[in-house]
A and B are shown apart, each in its own frame.
Chain A
Amino acid sequence: MVTSLNETKFYAKQQRVALRNCGVINPEDIEEYIARDGYSALCKVLTEWTPEDVIKCISDSGLRGRGGAGFPTGFKWSLSAKTKADVKYVCCNADEGDPGAFMDRSVLEGDPHAVVEAMAIAAYAIGACHGFIYVRAEYPIAVHRLQIAIGQAKEYGLLGEHIFGTDFNFDLEVRLGAGAFVCGEETALMTSIEGKRGEPRPRPPFPSEKGIFGIPTMNNNVETYANVPQIILRGAEWFASMGTETARGTKVFALGGKINNTGLLEIPMGTTLREIVEDIGGGVPDGKKFKAAQMGGPSGGCVPAALIDTPVDYDSLTKIGAMVGSGGLIVMDEDNCMVDIAKFFLEFTVDESCGKCTPCRIGTRRLLEYLNKITSGKATLQDLDDMEQLCLHIKSNSLCGLGQTAPNPVLSTLRYFRDEYVAHITEGRCPAGVCKDLLTFVIDKDKCIGCGNCARNCPVNTIVKTDYVAQGHKLPSYEIKTDKCIKCGACMANCKFGAISKK
C-alpha cells in the first residue's frame, strides 16, 4: 500500500497557503492558475470592493511582513494609501539574500501569477499604477517565469488598461539585482532600481512618501504578497484563525543543514521548533545530537537545544535573541562549532556591508578580528567583554538593518554557548573540533598497526615511524610531528583502524 503524500510526516503538519500552487500547477500556464481560482481575488476587489475594503481585510487578517521585520501589512498599506500623490508605485522585494532561505525563489518559480495578482490588488488598494519586482540575478528561472507570467497576464487583459472593464490601470516590470545582499534592505533596493550603487538611505523620508525615483512606493516581500489573494478570497477570519495571537497565518521555513528531511515547509505560526526538527524534519542524521538551530540568517540568532520547545513566531523568537527573519532554519549538530558559525556570518556581513556608514563598515571588521583571535587561541577573557560592548555599539549606531542586526549571531552564540568561547580562550581547545588552529591530530600508538596508510596520504610528509611496537602488533606505530602538520585531516580519514583522533 502506498501512503498519500499528505500522510507522510513531512507533509502532515503543513498547511500550504503561500505555497498552495507550488508543484501543483504548471507555472508557465496562466490557465492552470486561473483554474485554481487565480485572478478571481483581483476581479472581486476591482468590481465589488473599495480600496478601503481591501486595506480593512488585510488589516483584519493580521498578516505581517514575511521578509523579516514582521511589520503589519495592513498598516503599511494604509500609510501608503494616505499619501497624496498623482503617481505611486508598488514594489516586490524578491532579493532573497539570506543564506539558507529559498521560499521566495520557490514561490516565484512555482506560482509567479500569485505575486502578479497580489501586486495588482495592492496597487488598487493604495492607488498605484506601476509596479517593480526586484529579483536577484542568482535566480534565473524565477526571472524567466515571472516574465512569462507578466506577458500572459497582459495578453489576458489582467495587466494593462481597464482591467476587468474598470478604470483601474496597472503595469508591472521586472528589475534584476546584481549580487549585493544589502539590496534586500528596502531603501537600498530602491536606490539599486534607480541604477546606482545599492546603498541604503536614512529614513525618514519613508518610502511611502519618497520611494523609487522620489515617488511614493510601497514595498512588500514575495511571500507576503503570495498570501494576499487567498486572504481576499477566503476572508480575514479564515487567515486569522491560523497561527498565534500576535502572528496570524502560516509561515514558510527553509529547513536545511544537519537534518534528515530538508526542504520548504509551511506551517502555522507558533508551531514549536521541536515539531519542526523532530517530526517534520525527521531528526538529526547519523544518530548525532541536535545542538542548535540558526534562524533568521546573518541577522538572526540561534536557538539552543534547551529551548527546543519554543513556539516559532515573531515575538517568542525575538525574546530569546533569534528571529523569524525570512525563514531560513539551519539545524546544527554537535560537530558544529558555534564560534565558527558566528565567524561565518560575520565574514558574510563584512563582505556585504556597503560601506556607507562607519559603525557597520569598520565595526563589523573589528568584530571579525576578535572572532579570529578567539578561534586561533590568542584572545583573552577581556576581549570577550570588549566584543560584547562593540556589538551593542554597532547595533545602536548603524544606518540600516544590515548593520543593526549584524552582531546578532555573535550576541546569540555568546548568550547560549559562552562556555564554548571560554574553552577556546582559556583551554586553547575547540570543543567541536572545527577551529583548525586549535586542533591537534594524534595517533593512539596502541591502536596503530603500523600499516603506514596515514603517512602515505599526508600531503606534508609529517607522519613518521617510531620504534614502538604495540602488544600484539607486528609493525612499529607511527606518530605525527605536529610542527609541520597543516591539520587537513587526511590521515584520520584514511585510517581504517580508528587510531587517529583530533583533540
Chain B
Amino acid sequence: MSTRCKIPFKGTKEQEEKLLALIESLKDKKGPLMPVMQGAQEIYGYLPYEVLALISEKMNVPMADLYGVATFYAQFTLVPKGEYQIAVCLGTACYVKGSANVIDKVKEILKIDVGGCTDDGKFSLDATRCIGACGLAPVMTINDDVYGRLTPDQVPGILEKYMG
C-alpha cells in the first residue's frame, strides 16, 4: 500500500466530531495512539489519508509514525473494505481441513484476490489468522456471520445470500 488510496474521501461532519471527541477523551491516557486509530477506523471503516492527517495534527504525532503503525498491524486498512467482508481462516486447524480450497472457490466466484474488493464495493476478501474457532474448521466469516465445517461446494450458496 505504497500509493495513496484513489477512492475519494467521503467523511462527514458528524464523523469528524466523533473523532475529535475521542481524541479529547483519550488525551490524558498514556500511549493513546493505538486506541485513537482503532476508534478512527471504527468511525470511518478505514483510515483515509485525510483522517490520518487530522490525527497527526491534533495529537502532534508525525504522519510518518502514524503510517508506520497503520501499516504494521494487519487490522488497520488504508483502503475501504467491501460492504460484506469475507474472511476465510487460514489457521492450522482450518488449513489441514482444507480451507485453502474454500478460499480458492471464493476467489473463483468473485474474481478477486485475497486483500481485494469487488468493483461494486460489495465484497472484499481476506485470509485471516486463526480466529479461535478451530472446533468448527474450516471456518469463513462474512461480517458477523460465521460459517463452519465448510466444503468448497457450499460456498456458492452462501455467497448468493449476500448478492441480492
A residues at B contact (CB < 8 Å): 96-102, 105, 137-139, 175-181, 192-198, 212-213, 254, 256-258, 262-263, 294, 297, 328, 330, 332, 336, 341, 344-345, 354
Contact = CB atoms under 8 A, between A and B. Distances in A.
**Quick one: which of B38, B128, B129 has the most chain A CB within 10 A?**
B129
Contacts of B132: 96, 101-102, 105, 138-139
Contact of A178 (B31, B68, B75, B90): B75
Given A256-B134, A328-B92, A138 B31 contact: no
A76 to B, nearest CB: 23
B31 A194 contact: yes
Contacts of A257: 92-93, 96-97, 137
Given A137-B38, A263-B135, 6 more contacts: A97-B129, A99-B95, A101-B130, A138-B128, A180-B73, A196-B68
Nearest to B153: A493
A330 B133 CA distance: 13
A179 B74 contact: yes
Nearest to B134: A256
**Quick one: which of B37, B65, B130, B133 has the most chain A CB within 10 A?**
B130
A188 B67 CA distance: 18
**Quick one: which of A175, A177, A256, A328 has the most chain B CB within 10 A?**
A256
Contacts of B102: none
**Quick one: which of B76, B92, B131 has the most chain A CB within 10 A?**
B92
- Interface size for chain B: under 10, 10 to 19, 20 to 34, or 35 or more residues? 20 to 34
B48 interface: no
B30 interface: yes
14 contacts: A98-B130, A100-B92, A137-B75, A138-B132, A176-B38, A177-B73, A179-B74, A179-B75, A195-B31, A195-B33, A196-B33, A197-B72, A256-B92, A257-B96
B21 interface: no
A262 B92 contact: no
B96 A138 contact: no
B38 A196 contact: no
Nearest to B59: A195
A99 B97 contact: no
Interface of B: 30-35, 37-38, 65, 68-69, 72-76, 90-93, 95-97, 128-135, 137
B134 A178 contact: no
A192 B132 CA distance: 22
A99 B73 contact: no
B73 A178 contact: yes
A197 B69 CA distance: 5
A354 B134 CA distance: 26
B38 A100 contact: no
A318 to B, nearest CB: 20
Contacts of B91: 99-100
A179 B131 CA distance: 11
B96 A178 contact: no
Contact of A181 (B31, B69, B129): B129
Contacts of A332: 96
Contacts of A102: 130, 132-134
**Quick one: which of B32, B33, B128, B131 has the most chain A CB within 10 A?**
B131
Contact of B97 (A196, A258, A328): A258
Given A100-B91, A101-B130, A258 B72 contact: no
Nearest to A345: B92
A138 B131 contact: yes
A229 to B, nearest CB: 24
Contacts of A137: 38, 75
A258 B69 CA distance: 38
A96 B73 CA distance: 15
A258 B96 CA distance: 8
Nearest to B70: A178
Contacts of A105: 132
A101 B130 CA distance: 8
Contacts of A330: 92-93, 96
Given A175-B34, A181-B129, A195-B33, A297 B75 contact: no
Nearest to B133: A102
Contact of B134 (A139, A192, A262): A262
B46 to A, nearest CB: 13
Contacts of B90: 99
A426 to B, nearest CB: 26
A180 B74 contact: yes
Contacts of A139: 132
Given A100-B134, A262-B137, A330-B92, A198 B31 contact: no
A98 B73 CA distance: 16
Nearest to A102: B132
Nearest to B29: A173
- Would you list the 3 A-B pairs with minimal beta carbon distance, nearest first? A195-B33, A179-B74, A256-B93
A192 B130 contact: no
Contacts of A198: 72-73
Contacts of A181: 129
